[in-house]
Structures are given as structure tokens and as C-alpha cells.
Amino acid sequence: MAAQEELSASELLVGPAQSMVTAEDLLRRGTAPVGSELAMPLAMVVVAHPDDETIALGARIERFDQAHFIHVTDGAPRDEEDSRAHGFQSLDAYREARARELAEMFRRAALGRVSRTSLNFRDQEASLNLVEITLQLSQLIAGHEPGVIFTHPYEGGHPDHDACAFAVHHAVALNRARGGGRPLILEAPFYHTGQAGFEVGTFLRQDGWMPEMVYELSDAEKQRKHELVKCFVTQRETLNGFQGSAERFRIAPVYDFGRPPHEGKLLYEHYPWGMTSERFCQLSERAAEELEKDTARAM
């Protein structure tokens, strides 16, 4: 099953009525700044951890009041190293704190009643549950019928991020095989191995057609995003490196999840997160084979 079909032209069918729109138009509308007159398409945001949505969309997140947010993990690694490091006596207490921080961010962004789902997989374990996550996302896509889905790129920064990318691309393909719409997948950059080591806020270079939008943030937008990022008190030290001056988005390329996103050692292989590039690719290939059977049954 192809994770996402190559867009040979800037047109695709989206939504239950299968109305024709251009991909570039959806990209512009979906990423426009607060106050824009462009109509926001029905959006879904699929991210790995609480705070990822703010890193990606913080300067424009107020436009997402009709979106559906999906958090794949709970943000709390099972080994409790993070929870103890942040002064929590138990894993459950840390998980609850992460959930409260996310709720506070939504409240401050005037999105306190926004539609959202937590899949509640463990932090650092999404790549071990690729099939389950994909199937759940496919059901949510069918139920919400988004025109655009914002998610992570496949860049080797964090295995949960790459797992989200895999699951979104395959869930869209599965939904389409079942007769559903074809939402446009949009990405925001997070982090990956770069020439200087840890590189934040830029995309890995990919071949193919993938229009990109770059928004330089005004002082007011920077301050607003900073206020939202501050809601994640437990992640304060980590998020210090994500106070960039721009937000970037692009139409997702076609990925081969059976191959590493780039040559050399991936960023997450420098951390004790229990995942290697080789293992992730093997898990992806096995999951794709299993999902291929679901697709065949759906057709």
C-alpha cells in the first residue's frame, strides 16, 4: 500500500462531496495567520506529544477552533526517568500533569472546548503500535472528514514523530480505499540531525513536488506563542530551543518508511529511547504488510 500517492498535479479530491480544490489553496488557507480572511479548511492535527501542536502551530493555533486534535501518546515514558527528573513521585502523576498543561494551553488559546482525542499510547512506544494507531486514525478521519491533516514529517528526530508520520499517511490511504475522502497531509518541521548536529525548525530536503509556506512571526506573534509554550511547565528546559522566529509548513512528500529518512545516524539514535533506524524500518515494513491486508479487504 502506498503511504501517500504522488501528487502529479496540484489538484486532489477532498471531503464527502469529493469537491475539487487545489493543494496549494488548501496549504495557504490551512496555514494562514490569525486575522486572515482566507477560510480555514476543516482540519485535523495529529501529533505525538502534548506540546507538539504548540511548537508547530502556536502562532496561528487560534484559527483551529473547528479542528480535531489527536495526541498519540501521553507524553510520559514508561521507564519513569522523565517523571522522576521532573520531581513526580509516580508515572500517573506525571501523566496527569502533562494533561493539565495541555488543557491550560488550549484554554489560553481560547480553544478550551475544541474537539480532541488522546490515544494514550506510552511516550517512546508509538513505533511499537503502528498498526493500532493507523487503524484508530483511519476511523477518526472517516468520522471527522477533514480537508487537511497536520502532522510530523519523517525526519528521524524522535521515533514517536516518525510513527505519527507513518500512521497518518497509511490511515489516509486506508480511508481512501474504503471510499472516504483524500485529505491533504501538511507537515511542520521539528528536529533532526543537521550539519551542526541538532537542527530545529527546518525540513529535511526531499525530492519531488512539495510547496512550502514560511511565515516570519511578528513580535506580537512571537510573544503569543511564547505564552502558550510556557503552559508546558514540565518541558520548559526542552522547549527553550523551539522559540523560533518563523513557522514553516509544506505539503507532505511521498515517504518510503522502509528506508531511513537520511543517511548516517538518526538523531534519536543518540538517545536511550529504545529505537534504532534499522528497527523502525523493520517495524514499518511489517506494519505496512499487515495494513495492506486491511486495504485489500476494504476494496
- Are 292 and 131 within 8 A, CB to CB? no
What is the side-by-side strand order in the sheet with 115-123? 115-123, 68-77, 43-47, 148-151, 184-187, 246-251, 212-216
**Other C-beta atoms lying within 10 Å of the C-beta of residue 297:** 9
Angle at 4 between CA 265 and CA 200, to 5 degrees: 40
299 pLDDT tier (thresholds 50, 70, 90): low
Cβ contacts of 69 within 8 Å, gap of 6 or more: 44, 45, 47, 53, 114, 115, 116, 117
* Ranges of each domain in the chain: 11-298
Per-residue pLDDT, 206: 81
- Tens of pLDDT along 7-29? 433 444 444 433 457 999 999 99
Mean pLDDT, residues 191-207 taken together = 88
- Tens of pLDDT along 112-125? 999 999 999 999 99
Amino acid letter, residue 203: F
Amino acid letter, residue 29: R
Mean pLDDT, residues 249-269 taken together = 96
- Tens of pLDDT along 76-124? 999 988 888 888 999 999 999 999 999 999 999 999 999 999 999 999 9
Among 13-17, 195-199, 213-217, top mean pLDDT goes to 213-217
Average pLDDT, the chain: 91
CATH number of 11-298: 3.40.50.10320
- Tens of pLDDT along 186-196? 999 999 998 77
Which class for 74: exposed (0-12), middle (13-18), buried (19 or more C-beta within 10 A)?
buried
CA 3, CA 186: separation in Å to the nearest integer?
14
